Amino acid sequence: MPITSRPGDDLRGRAHQLRRTAGAIDDSGADGLYRRAGVDTWMGPTAARCLDELTTARRQLHEAAEALRRTARQLDQRADQADALTRLTTARGLPT
């Protein structure tokens, strides 16, 4: 019996891709750079500016990853809804 793809599979594929991107952000190591850039390493106006930028970058990357995961969840929900709709119309003999 041949395997048939479900209508929601494309959406699930996109969600997977977004989660993988979010995971790659997490694994980049950029999240912990600010800890290395404190006064144990260097100090002065340049050091202060660098620390500010790394702290900001950390926050922005974290927000980006979260946004990707949130979007992935929404895509999964849409996929489930699409599959459910297909099953319903098939059972009632309606054209899909």
User: Applying CB under 8 A, which residues contact another protein?
Assistant: 14, 17-18, 20-22, 24-25, 27-30, 32-33, 36-37, 39-50, 53, 57, 60-61, 63-65, 67-68, 71, 75
Nearer to another protein, 2 or 29 (CB): 29
Taking the C-alpha atoms of residue 73 and residue 64, their distance in angstroms, rounded to an integer, is 14
Nearest distance from C-beta of residue 58 to another protein, angstroms: 9
Q: If 0-12 CB within 10 Å is exposed, 13-18 middle and 19+ buried, where does residue 61 land?
A: middle
The single-letter code of the amino acid at 47 is A
Least gap, CB of 23 to another protein (angstroms): 10
